[in-house]
Amino acid sequence: MEVATFTDANFDEEVLGAAVPVLVDFWAEHCVPCRTQARALTRLATELGPRAKVGRLDVDGNPRTTEAFRVRGVPHLALVAGGRVVLELVGGYPLERLRERVRPWLGD
């Protein structure tokens, strides 16, 4: 699976209405840790396959969703399941730590 691109326009359908858990990476182009985080998210998306969706939302271009999720700094990760946030992580996380944190929400 590849990392999806979320926007204010598609967020409700792609994330809140998803049938599987969705890991959303709130990021910004100017954020160096965000670029590092992107590599781990790409690997995680591949590993999770159809069990979950992984995607990114650029905070600078999508203020409505950024404000709704009260994102104050990036990187900011939110795991959404059943239309609600079940886990939030602030700061950069290596792949192993991401796996560990999302695993309980995937039924593993």
The residues annotated with a catalytic role in the active site are 31, 34
Residue 86 near residue 105, CB atoms below 8 Å: yes
* Six-digit token string for 14: 């792609």
Pairing assessment for the beta strands 22-27 and 53-58 based on DSSP bridges: parallel
Residue 47 vs residues 10, 41, 51: alpha-carbon distances, Å: 24, 10, 9
